[in-house]
């Protein structure tokens, strides 16, 4: 009789274990998905000026909450992974024409040109010149989604295909894209200026592309001619300062580093004959032994040191990162500049964000936008689980560009009115 009364205690113990296990799993899920993190408008860093006040009034996304998908959108890792693996949801296929430019060293640069699908909000001819992220090109889904949206808002779009990134375009010189080489982007911009002499430019760069476009604008004042504004999204600003953080396991950056290095190795090795073949006139510093070291590389820094820096004759990795980073050029940019990063971007360490913060405190033309969530080039929106095709990032870049165009138009109208009044006097 006593034995029969004691048997229910065993299931009770097991139920307690189950509840504890469920609680532990829920705790891990809540922590990993960052579900307790609030939604909020992005943090904004800028100087009070007529331009900044106009932007705050004309760009609602700067002051509204960015609300990512409820279940997973507050995890920077998941946002980044979805961008990296999927790109975008239901990405459109904009129709464009591929252009080829022969560079002075024999390299063949390509970019894709997309005409606008509607009239621009100010009625002007505006071209967005776009530089994608590392090893990316116009066929990537996030680029296609953004281009389609920009076209529908009246922008012509020119998208650079990084040298060596397109699998069906062979290299015609022993060189491929590097972290901060602006030659191909500059050639594309010059083509647009020559072909469309009345157009004005909006410069856009994503990740590595953000470094390239900012460096390009800061290299010489002439590069800012006809440029209305520049937008950089999710770049790291200084490769020299980023290299140490990229070797740390914090936020799994070392793992991301390995994945990107593996992708870079595949791209380089796909052009093995053009870069390392016996018939190739290689840069003096590039040796056959570098190919062997490339096979063993497990980080971007090792690839940059053994191969990439040697395309341009840098003597050391430190010199390469110092010269190729846009940080030393940012203060030379005088057109309106919006720098966008996500606070939970696992690739960009928070210490690097002091660069755009400091710049925005000194320059009236700079606004730094820092939402809590978004990961690296994610910025997905949606209600519960499924993301929307268009992201917060896509909308913000176009909204900012529209506002700058309206700002420039209003300045011209004011100048015309002043001339009329002066003539009447």
Q: In degrees, to the nearest 5, what angle opens at C-alpha 152 toward C-alphas 191 and 334?
A: 50
344 as an active site residue: the answer is: no
Dihedral of alpha carbons 17, 23, 25, 31, sign: negative
Instruction: State the Cα–Cα distance between residues 342 and 66, nearest whole angstrom.
Output: 11
Instruction: State the Cα–Cα distance between residues 24 and 5, nearest whole angstrom.
Output: 31
- Which of 52, 109, 138, 207 is catalytic? The answer is 207
- Which of 232, 345, 360, 394 is catalytic? The answer is 345
Q: How far is CA 140 from CA 66, 144, 162, 241, in A?
A: 24, 6, 12, 28
376 as an active site residue: the answer is: yes
Instruction: State the Cα–Cα distance between residues 200 and 346, nearest whole angstrom.
Output: 35
Q: How many CB atoms lie within 10 A of CB 152?
A: 14
Instruction: State the Cα–Cα distance between residues 247 and 266, nearest whole angstrom.
Output: 21
- Which of 77, 271, 376, 394 is catalytic? The answer is 376
CA-wise closest residue to 80 among 255, 321, 213:
255
Q: How far is CA 158 from CA 137, 142, 330, 396, 419, in A?
A: 11, 15, 23, 19, 36
207 as an active site residue: the answer is: yes
Answer whether 142's CB lies under 8 Å from 377's CB.
Answer: yes
CA-wise closest residue to 323 among 313, 332, 331:
313
Residues taking part in catalysis: 207, 345, 376
């Amino acid at each position: 009789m006593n034995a029969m009364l004691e048997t229910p205690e065993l299931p009770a113990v097991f139920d307690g274990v189950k509840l504890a296990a469920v609680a532990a799993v829920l705790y891990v899920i809540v922590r990993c998905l960052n579900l307790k993190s609030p939604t909020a408008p992005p943090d904004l860093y800028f100087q009070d000026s007529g331009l900044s006040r106009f932007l705050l009034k004309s760009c609602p996304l700067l002051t509204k909450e960015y609300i990512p998908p409820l279940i997973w959108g507050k995890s920077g890792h998941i946002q980044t992974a979805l961008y990296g693996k999927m790109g975008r949801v239901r990405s459109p296929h904009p129709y464009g024409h591929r252009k080829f430019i022969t560079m002075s060293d024999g390299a063949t640069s390509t970019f894709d040109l997309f005409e606008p699908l509607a009239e621009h909000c100010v009625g002007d001819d505006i071209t967005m010149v776009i530089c994608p992220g590392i090893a990316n090109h116009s066929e990537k889904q996030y680029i296609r989604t953004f281009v389609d949206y920009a076209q529908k808002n009246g922008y012509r779009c020119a998208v650079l295909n990084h040298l060596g990134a397109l699998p069906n375009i062979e290299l015609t010189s022993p060189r491929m894209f590097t972290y901060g080489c602006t030659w191909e982007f500059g050639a594309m911009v010059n083509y647009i200026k020559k072909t469309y002499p009345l157009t004005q430019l909006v410069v856009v760069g994503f990740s590595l592309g953000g470094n390239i476009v900012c460096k390009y604008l800061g290299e010489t004042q002439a590069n800012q001619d006809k440029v209305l504004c520049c937008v950089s999204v999710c770049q790291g600003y200084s490769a020299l300062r980023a290299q140490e953080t990229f070797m740390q396991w914090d936020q799994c950056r070392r793992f991301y580093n390995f994945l990107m290095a593996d992708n870079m190795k595949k791209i380089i090795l796909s052009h093995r004959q053009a870069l390392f073949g016996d018939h190739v006139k290689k840069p003096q510093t590039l040796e056959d032994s570098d190919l062997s070291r490339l096979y063993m590389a497990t980080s971007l820094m090792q690839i940059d040191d053994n191969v990439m820096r040697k395309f341009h004759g840098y003597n050391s990795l430190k010199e390469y990162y110092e010269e190729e980073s846009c940080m030393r050029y940012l203060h030379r940019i005088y057109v309106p500049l919006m720098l966008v990063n996500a606070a939970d971007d696992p690739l960009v360490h928070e210490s690097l964000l002091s660069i755009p913060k400091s710049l925005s405190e000194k320059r009236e033309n700079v606004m730094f936008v820092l939402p809590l969530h978004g990961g690296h080039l994610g910025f997905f929106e949606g209600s519960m689980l499924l993301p929307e095709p268009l992201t917060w990032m896509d909308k913000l870049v176009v909204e900012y560009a529209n506002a700058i165009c309206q700002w420039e138009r209003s300045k011209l109208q004011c100048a015309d009115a002043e001339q009329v009044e002066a003539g009447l006097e």
